[in-house]
């Protein structure tokens, strides 16, 4: 190994490759900044691939009655994402799969009138419409269904394809970092830098701005620099996954008496094509403090009550305990908006949490605005660190990890298209 550290300069060094870091890397690269992103595990780990992929305009936040700051800030986001998904926005998401171009809100019979009254004003805005019984999604097309059902014109995206798309757009910019071989530093002027020991060379990474977008990892990164602010909060969930036999994809919230949906269902596929419902909402919030067996029992009970006509006797169940990482709010409530701020006591560090997948574009807008306000413009040409560091890989989804397939996706596909008489001789 060469003794003298190799100094490498970037405009921006982003730490953490979830939706926040990847979206920001896309925007920054498009704006001409030289960018390196450093990921500790795999791109999309932690919250992004664990999300339900719902890009919503905040309608569910209005369940409490009044429009809060969150619902106002988030309202524009579906339109922003749609433009990106068509290749006409500030980030090209043409290779991201849309799982659904709408999702449903339904409530049991006794809550129907409350929901109807609440949504009536939104219907006139054209974003929500009541669903006629003939047009119900297959899962709810049963004579026992006796609730009110509305359709929201918001989208659900396939998070793995989003991460792959965002990563592809910034190919050559996302590197694996092993913190047992790396260290953040802050000098007396508050200038942050990063040293990484590789087998060939010690690298010293300098940047006009370091940006921490490591989700729950932000706290530990700040700690490395002896910083406590901005402070973070963690709100735990325990999601439930059901691998089942029904060919019904469904995306929606079932509303109960609380302001959080009683149950949120999204639908996903395993590489071999089998179906998984991913259950969140109040169930996952209550489940955070239960054992996996208890939350699975609660989930079974909820499904039996809400869709009793669906037989889940042969379903396989698993849970995902996970924490939502956000900037600290008084009373640990949900933050209203994406959040990014310069870290006090440093000269070149920003720290951010999008607080929602939906709000990743908003976080990137705010970050670029902070850079512009600080007079930071693209001025350093890009260096590819691949001679020293491996490229970061894509993470697996929670359902792939929970229900590992005996077959690879290619094998499963090959079997589905097998000639009928191939095995017969
Ligand atoms: C169960 C669940 C469901 C959700 N559903 C939705 C939804 O339907 N719609 C919606 O809008 N939002 C949803 N969210 C919220 C949304 O997923 C998150 O707000 C968003 O994904 C956060 O993105 P992020 O990039 O900040 O963090 P993360 O996705 O957590 O990414 C952080 C990345 O940083 C990496 N990292 C961590 N520490 C380090 C380190 N020291 N060095 C380098 N890298 C590091 C991690 O490995 C990871 O890749 C959901 C969240 C959860 C938990």
Give the number of other Cβ atoms within 10 Å of residue 290's Cβ: 16
CA atoms of 206 and 198, how far apart (whole Å): 16
At 425 the pLDDT is: 42
pLDDT-based confidence at 222, cuts 50/70/90? very high
pLDDT-based confidence at 67, cuts 50/70/90? very low
| Residue 352 Cα: closest atom of ligand 1 | 26
CA atoms of 127 and 135, how far apart (whole Å): 17
Q: What is the pLDDT of residues 371-402, one digit of tens each?
A: 999 999 999 998 999 999 999 999 999 999 99
Residue 265 has pLDDT above 80, yes or no: yes
* Phi (first) and psi of residue 14, to 5 degrees: -100, 135
CA atoms of 26 and 374, how far apart (whole Å): 20
Q: Is 59 helix (H, G, I), strand (E, B) or coil?
A: helix
At 157 the pLDDT is: 98
- CB 299, CB 317: distance < 8 Å: yes
At 124 the pLDDT is: 47
Asked if residue 58 has its Cβ within 6 Å of ligand 1, the reply is: no
Given ligand 1 and candidates 46, 180, 238, which is best to mutate, with the most ligand atoms within 8 Å of its CB?
46
Residue 113 has pLDDT above 70, yes or no: no
CA atoms of 83 and 256, how far apart (whole Å): 33
C-alpha atoms less than 13 angstroms from C-alpha of 225 in its C-beta half-sphere: 30
pLDDT-based confidence at 335, cuts 50/70/90? confident
pLDDT-based confidence at 58, cuts 50/70/90? confident
At 114 the pLDDT is: 63
Share of the chain above pLDDT 70, in %: 88
At 116 the pLDDT is: 64
pLDDT-based confidence at 334, cuts 50/70/90? confident
For 115, 148, 257, the CA distances from 112, given in Å and listed in that order, are: 5, 5, 11
Mean of pLDDT over the chain: 91
Burial class (CB in 10 A: 0-12, 13-18, 19+), 313: exposed
The single-letter DSSP state of residue 97 is P
- Residue of the CA atom closest to atom 42 of ligand 1: 40
Lowest mean pLDDT among 4-13, 73-82, 262-271, 317-326: 73-82
Q: What is the pLDDT of residues 117-160, one digit of tens each?
A: 666 656 545 578 899 999 999 999 999 998 889 999 889 999 99
**Mean pLDDT score, 160-185:** 98
Secondary element (H or E) of residue 81? helix 77-85
CA atoms of 17 and 387, how far apart (whole Å): 20
Asked if residue 105 has its Cβ within 6 Å of ligand 1, the reply is: no
Q: 39 — alpha (psi -120 to 50), left (phi > 0) or beta?
A: beta
Asked if residue 322 has its Cβ within 6 Å of ligand 1, the reply is: yes
Lowest mean pLDDT among 35-39, 265-269, 274-278, 407-411: 407-411
pLDDT-based confidence at 406, cuts 50/70/90? confident
Burial class (CB in 10 A: 0-12, 13-18, 19+), 369: exposed
At 424 the pLDDT is: 46
Give the number of other Cβ atoms within 10 Å of residue 351's Cβ: 26
Select the more confidently predicted residue: 50 or 128. Answer: 50
CA atoms of 372 and 369, how far apart (whole Å): 5
CA atoms of 39 and 32, how far apart (whole Å): 21
Kindly give the pairing relationship between strand 174-176 and strand 35-39.
parallel
Structural domains in the chain plus CATH codes: 1-101+156-231+328-394 (3.50.50.60)
| Residue 45 Cα: closest atom of ligand 1 | 49
Of 81, 57, 90, residue with least CA distance to 158 = 81
pLDDT-based confidence at 100, cuts 50/70/90? very high
At 310 the pLDDT is: 95
Residue 358 has pLDDT above 50, yes or no: yes
Secondary element (H or E) of residue 241? strand 232-244
């Amino acid at each position: 190994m060469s003794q003298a550290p190799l100094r490498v300069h970037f405009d921006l060094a982003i730490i953490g490759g979830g939706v926040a870091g990847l979206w920001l890397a896309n925007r920054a690269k498009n704006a001409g900044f030289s960018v390196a992103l450093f990921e500790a595990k795999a791109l999309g780990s932690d919250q992004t691939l664990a999300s339900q992929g719902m890009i919503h305009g905040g309608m569910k936040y209005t369940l409490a009655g009044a429009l809060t700051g969150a619902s106002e800030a988030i309202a524009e986001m579906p339109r922003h994402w749609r433009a990106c998904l068509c290749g006409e926005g500030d980030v090209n998401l043409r290779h991201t799969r849309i799982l659904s171009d709408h999702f449903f809100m339904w409530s049991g019979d006794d809550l129907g009138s409350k929901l109807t009254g609440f949504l009536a004003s939104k219907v006139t805005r054209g974003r929500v419409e009541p669903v006629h019984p003939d047009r119900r999604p297959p899962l709810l097309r049963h004579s026992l269904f006796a609730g009110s059902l509305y359709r929201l014109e918001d989208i659900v995206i396939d998070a793995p394809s989003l991460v792959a798309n965002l990563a592809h757009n910034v190919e050559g910019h996302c590197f694996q970092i092993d913190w047992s071989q790396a260290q953040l530093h802050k000098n007396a002027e508050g200038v942050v830098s990063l040293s990484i020991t590789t087998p060939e060379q010690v690298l010293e990474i300098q940047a006009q701005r370091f940006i921490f977008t490591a989700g729950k990892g932000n706290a530990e990164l700040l700690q490395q620099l002896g910083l406590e602010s901005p402070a973070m909060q963690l709100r735990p969930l325990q999601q439930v996954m059901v691998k089942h036999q029904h060919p019904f994809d469904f995306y929606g919230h079932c509303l109960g008496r609380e302001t959080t949906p009683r149950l949120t269902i999204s639908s996903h596929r395993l590489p071999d094509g089998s179906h998984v419902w991913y259950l969140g909402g109040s169930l996952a919030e209550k489940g955070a403090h239960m054992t996996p067996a208890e939350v699975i029992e609660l989930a079974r009970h909820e499904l039996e009550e809400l869709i009793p006509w669906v037989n889940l006797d042969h379903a396989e169940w698993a849970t995902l305990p996970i924490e939502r990482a956000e900037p600290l709010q008084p009373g640990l409530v949900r933050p209203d908006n994406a959040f990014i701020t310069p870290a006090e006591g440093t000269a070149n560090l920003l720290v951010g949490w999008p607080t929602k997948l939906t709000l990743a574009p908003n976080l990137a807008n705010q970050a670029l605005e902070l850079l512009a306000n600080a007079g930071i413009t693209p001025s350093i040409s890009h260096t590819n660190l691949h001679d020293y560091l491996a490229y970061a890989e894509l993470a697996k989804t929670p359902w792939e990890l929970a229900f590992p397939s005996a077959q690879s996706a290619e094998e499963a596909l090959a079997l589905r298209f097998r000639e009928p008489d191939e095995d017969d001789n």
